DNA sequence: TCTACTTTTTCCACTCAGAGGACAAAGAAG
DNA sequence: CTTCTTTGTCCTCTGAGTGGAAAAAGTAGA
């Protein structure tokens, strides 16, 4: 039996909830230092907070030189589910209400199998996490899918790499199955929210989060809020033209960034190079595994293989050129690089940095850090938990 | 002697002021229909509004079937000054508090002469407008400059085409000279605000406003608010690489959009074409005027000159490619094209549209209008008036 | 142990924004 | 001249929130 939780009654309670989420257990007095409310008003709101089921008392705090204060904290039994559906694998994690990961599962999986098959898998993984004692049930879930989403309804729209998902009511269906509130968003937005909450972007209001996986996307954060665009497709930078008259892309155009550099493109290029005998390292790996992925290229590169390094550098240059344009346009305070190819590490990062710092104007790049994401594969699931907690911790 | 005006005391008054600005004179009853306040509260706020000096009574309204209501309106004596400093000319206009243009002057002028010379000119133009009886004095001024601005302080920063302006305290200096509040912003942002207030973008929350003049810039509006970026240089798209290893640009790089298409680049290309004997039309104009500008190219094009048309088409293609990338990234609800080259009209627009619709994904372009600005050279000055009115009509 | 000082919490009186009803004022329609 | 509608004013009531006083629960030194 699932406990029922209620949304906060007003903006004050919402603010207190986020303070408890981001700062952990806290005394009433300390909360008072952080919000701008009179003692009396604070007492009233704090007293009412447990009625929502989201907050519980937590004993006495240490003395600060006088009477000891009462601690409160978010209900430690609350559980959020973060789901990050990638093109070729799915991550599912359980967090507590403070968005700390308690358990994390990853499984290979092809999104093209369609929503029904994928969610069967996701639900099985969620059940497994529950069976291992991490949760009795879920109080909310945040789902990331690799394509544009009509955000208010939580429905994917015209996702190029996910045929069969167009119009599928993800939010409603999963809410039914899980018996809890669900929010759905593009996976890059979730990654951005994850890095914002617990990663490198904690203190930046305007930043970009470029995710290079099977495809390429970009989370856009404006004033601390994710920007999704008019139809929910903002950040879809994989099909920006990077090479005039370049390679044909699945979208029908030529020279798209994604056709020249992405997990898929990199793997294809590596196979080609191996077959042409350009790299003994890659050729032997191809023979051993029967195929190559970005991971193989990363390994070959760190073994010093020149061809692998060239592939990474060239891809980084292409990506860097596109990012340079976005930096000129958007003037962010930070650029985060993440996704599956993060394993390519500093070779990739150096190539991207070179292009951006060379091509964008000094005013935009002067104080612009370009860094790898801190959270790796957990960014997405933490972002999912963050998404649903933002929803549940806001007034109804 | 200038009257003193005060800022509204609270958000309700601010809301009423913008309603009066955007909807003109209005009866108390009609205002009541538009705001969500009880009659008593509304009466209190409306009664206090004249204390600010911004609002005056305006007789009785027509009956709506019962007792006639009292009209109020923004003080008809209020005057805002809108100043749009371009690279090669300056526009100065006077508006009333409803942001209607009462008088408008334009003069050629080179920004490179520096802020002192330019503002001497601007003040002379403002004095001329005042002398012609349009204003006794100014209650506020909004200034647009062709480069990035540290917005809160109103100080240009590192403007590439305006040497000598870096760090000049425009806001403070002009506030002194004019004796009224002043706000300063990038000229493309002003154009965006102008088109938002009185032009094609009245109903759109997220849009881009591309201004092609001597240089190229882009105003970015997110959720109805201008987005300025971390250092105020957002929208600086003139130096995005449009042509790999293309022409050298003043910024030190090669292939910048601005180096390939802008008022300046177009004029240069036209001269070159004329000298090479590619176009009799352009050659004769070159001989007559001793030089060519975008206006000549526009005239030649509408006379059917093939070379001129080619120049415009190629420029449009370049610009369209860059815009296509921005559309994929930003997913706007509208793209406005404006600036000095608007005279190139539909040839340019068609080229841009072709590229954008071809290169961006259907989800982003499906319902995306790409249109010419409606206000032409008045967009900037109206935007300036809008900028200062937003400031004056918000609680202090 | 006792005393003086701090910090936290509760209690209470007070202010203020705002809502909404009653009613007066002003006009329309017959 | 009467009846109905709309508009504006007045007055009371409510609920959010503030800030002071005092109680509760500590610490630290004599």
Residues B320, B337 contacting (CB under 8 angstroms) = no
Tokens representing A177 are 């199955």
- pLDDT tier, B281 (very low <50, low <70, confident <90, very high otherwise): confident
Beta-carbon separation of A233 and B361 below 8 A: yes
What single-letter DSSP state applies at residue A235?
A: T
Q: What is the mean pLDDT of residues A252-267?
A: 89
Q: What is the mean pLDDT of residues B343-349?
A: 85
CA B379 to chain centre: 4
Q: What is the pLDDT of residue A162?
A: 84
Beta-carbon separation of A331 and B234 below 8 A: yes
- pLDDT tier, A345 (very low <50, low <70, confident <90, very high otherwise): confident
Which of the pair, A339 or A91, is modelled with greater confidence? A91
pLDDT at B299 over 50: yes
Q: What is the pLDDT of residue B340?
A: 78
Q: Is A362 part of the contact surface with chain B (CB cutoff 8 Å)?
A: yes
Beta-carbon separation of A236 and B329 below 8 A: yes
pLDDT tens profile A228-251: 999 999 999 999 999 988 999 888
pLDDT tens profile B208-241: 999 998 889 999 999 999 999 999 999 999 999 9
Task: Determine the residue of chain B that is closest to A218 in CA distance.
Answer: B329
Burial A112-146 (b: 16+ CB within 10 A, else e): eeebeebbebbeebbeebbeeebbeebbbbbbbbb
Distance CA A365, CA B295 (A): 35
Contact residues on chain A for B358, CB-CB shorter than 8 A: 253
Which of the pair, B393 or A282, is modelled with greater confidence? B393
Is the C-beta atom of B230 closer than 7 angstroms to strand D?
Answer: no
What single-letter DSSP state applies at residue B5?
A: -
Beta-carbon separation of B158 and A362 below 8 A: yes
Q: Is B369 part of the contact surface with chain A (CB cutoff 8 Å)?
A: no
Residue B201: CB partners within 8 Å, gap ≥ 6? B192, B195, B207, B209, B221, B334, B336
Please report the sign of the dihedral spanned by the C-alpha atoms of residue A377, residue A378, residue A379, residue A380: positive
Contact residues on chain A for B362, CB-CB shorter than 8 A: 158
pLDDT at A1 over 50: no
CA–C1' gap, A33 and D30, in angstroms:
34
Flag the least confident range among A143-147, A365-369, B243-247, B370-374. Answer: B243-247
pLDDT at B359 over 70: yes
- pLDDT tier, A291 (very low <50, low <70, confident <90, very high otherwise): confident
Is the C-beta atom of B112 closer than 7 angstroms to strand D?
Answer: no
A:191-220 residues touching chain B, CB 8 A cutoff: 205-206, 218, 220
CA A303 to chain centre: 30
With vertex at residue B42, the alpha carbon angle to CA B39 and CA B46, rounded to the nearest 5 degrees, is 135
Task: Determine the residue of chain B that is closest to A365 in CA distance.
Answer: B231
Residue B308: CB partners within 8 Å, gap ≥ 6? B270, B279, B281, B282, B297, B298, B300, B301
Task: Determine the residue of chain A that is closest to B251 in CA distance.
Answer: A361
Distance CA B346, CA A144 (A): 42
Beta-carbon separation of B366 and A231 below 8 A: yes
pLDDT at A2 over 80: no
Instruction: Give the predicted TM-score (pTM) of the model.
Output: 0.95
All protein residues with a CB under 7 A from any atom of strand C: A 27-29, 32, 39-40, 43, 47, 64-70; B 10, 12, 36-41, 60, 63, 65-68
CA A269 to chain centre: 27
Q: What is the pLDDT of residue B54?
A: 96
Task: Determine the residue of chain A that is closest to B242 in CA distance.
Answer: A325
Between the alpha carbon of residue A279 and those of residues A259, A383, B295, B298, the distances in Å are: 22, 39, 57, 55
Average pLDDT, chain A: 92
Average pLDDT, chain B: 93
Beta-carbon separation of B329 and A333 below 8 A: no
Which of the pair, A351 or A1, is modelled with greater confidence? A351
Q: Which DSSP string do the residues of B91-151 spell out, in sequence order? A: EEEEE-TT--EEEEEEEE--GGG-HHHHHHHHHHHHHHHHHTTS-SS-SEEEEEESS-EET
Q: Is B224 part of the contact surface with chain A (CB cutoff 8 Å)?
A: no
How many other β-carbons are positioned within 10 Å of the β-carbon of residue B172?
Answer: 14
Flag the least confident range among A54-58, A150-154, B3-7. Answer: B3-7
Query: Smallest CA–CA separation between A258 and chain B, in Å?
Result: 13
B:148-177 residues touching chain A, CB 8 A cutoff: 148, 157-158, 160
Residue A248's DSSP bridge partners are A254
Beta-carbon separation of B240 and A324 below 8 A: yes
CA–C1' gap, A44 and C7, in angstroms:
19
Is the C-beta atom of A68 closer than 7 angstroms to strand D?
Answer: yes
Q: What is the pLDDT of residue B1?
A: 46
Distance CA A378, CA A199 (A): 10
Q: What is the pLDDT of residue A396?
A: 82
Between the alpha carbon of residue A231 and those of residues A228, B332, B367, the distances in Å are: 7, 8, 9
Residue B339 CB burial class (10 angstroms; 0-12, 13-18, ≥19): buried
Q: What is the mean pLDDT of residues A305-328?
A: 93
Residue B139, phi then psi, degrees to nearest 5 = -95, -5
Task: Determine the residue of chain A that is closest to B148 in CA distance.
Answer: A363
Is the C-beta atom of B14 closer than 7 angstroms to strand D?
Answer: no
Query: Smallest CA–CA separation between A230 and chain B, in Å?
Result: 6
- CB nearest A236 (choices: B237, B321, B361): B361
Residue in A125, A95, A265, A116 with CA at minimum distance from that of residue A193: A95
pLDDT tens profile B40-92: 999 999 999 999 999 999 999 988 888 999 999 999 999 999 999 999 999 99
- pLDDT tier, A220 (very low <50, low <70, confident <90, very high otherwise): very high
pLDDT tens profile A149-207: 999 999 999 887 888 899 999 999 999 999 999 999 999 999 999 999 999 999 999 99
Chain B interface, best mutation among A234, A252, A326, by max B CB count within 10 A: A234
Is the C-beta atom of A62 closer than 7 angstroms to strand D?
Answer: no
Sheet holding B26-27, edge to edge: B26-27, B70-74, B55-60
Q: Is B252 part of the contact surface with chain A (CB cutoff 8 Å)?
A: no
Beta-carbon separation of B333 and A362 below 8 A: no
Q: What is the pLDDT of residue B2?
A: 55
Tokens representing B123 are 């003040």
- pLDDT tier, A284 (very low <50, low <70, confident <90, very high otherwise): confident
Residue B355: CB partners within 8 Å, gap ≥ 6? B316, B317, B319, B320, B321, B323, B324
Instruction: Look up tokens 């408890």; give the residue.
Output: A20
Residues A354, A293 contacting (CB under 8 angstroms) = no
Please report the sign of the dihedral spanned by the C-alpha atoms of residue A278, residue A280, residue A285, residue A286: positive
What single-letter DSSP state applies at residue A140?
A: E
Nearest nucleic acid nucleotide to A42, CA to C1' distance: D17
Is the C-beta atom of B29 closer than 7 angstroms to strand D?
Answer: yes
Please report the sign of the dihedral spanned by the C-alpha atoms of residue B86, residue B88, residue B93, residue B99: negative
């Amino acid at each position: 039996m699932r406990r029922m939780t209620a949304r906060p009654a007003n903006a004050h309670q919402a603010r207190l909830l986020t303070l408890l989420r981001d700062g952990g257990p806290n005394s009433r007095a300390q909360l008072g230092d952080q919000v701008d409310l009179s003692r009396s008003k604070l007492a009233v709101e704090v007293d009412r907070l447990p009625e929502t089921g989201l907050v519980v008392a937590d004993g006495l705090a240490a003395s600060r030189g006088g009477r000891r204060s009462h601690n409160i904290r978010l209900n430690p039994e609350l559980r959020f589910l973060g789901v990050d559906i990638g093109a070729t694998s799915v991550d599912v994690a359980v967090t507590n209400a403070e968005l700390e990961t308690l358990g994390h599962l990853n499984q290979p999986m092809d999104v093209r199998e369609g929503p029904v098959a994928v969610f069967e898998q996701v639900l099985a993984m969620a059940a497994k996490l529950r069976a291992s004692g991490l949760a009795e049930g879920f109080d909310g879930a945040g789902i990331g899918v690799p394509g544009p989403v009509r955000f208010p309804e939580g429905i994917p729209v015209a996702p190029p790499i996910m045929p069969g998902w167009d119009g599928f009511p993800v939010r409603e269906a999963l809410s039914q199955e899980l018996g809890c509130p669900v929010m759905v968003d593009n996976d890059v937005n979730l990654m951005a929210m994850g890095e914002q909450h617990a990663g490198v972007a904690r203190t930046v209001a305007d930043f970009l989060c470029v995710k290079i996986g099977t495809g390429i996307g970009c989370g856009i954060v404006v004033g601390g809020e994710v920007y999704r665009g008019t139809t929910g497709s903002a950040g879809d930078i994989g099909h920006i033209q990077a090479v005039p008259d370049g390679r044909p892309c699945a979208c029908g155009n030529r020279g798209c960034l994604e056709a020249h550099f992405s997990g898929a493109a990199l793997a294809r290029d590596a196979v080609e190079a191996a077959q042409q005998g350009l790299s003994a390292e890659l050729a032997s790996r191809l023979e051993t595994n029967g195929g190559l992925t970005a991971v193989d290229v990363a390994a070959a590169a760190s073994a010093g293989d020149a061809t692998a390094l060239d592939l990474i550098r060239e891809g980084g240059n292409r990506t860097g050129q596109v990012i340079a344009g976005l930096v000129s346009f958007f003037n962010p305070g930070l650029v985060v690089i993440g996704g599956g190819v993060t394993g390519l590490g500093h070779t990739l990062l150096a190539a991207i940095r070179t292009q951006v710092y060379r091509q964008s104007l000094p005013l935009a790049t002067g104080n612009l850090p370009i860094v790898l994401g801190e959270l790796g594969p957990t960014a997405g699931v933490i972002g999912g938990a963050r998404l649903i907690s933002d929803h549940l911790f806001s007034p109804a």
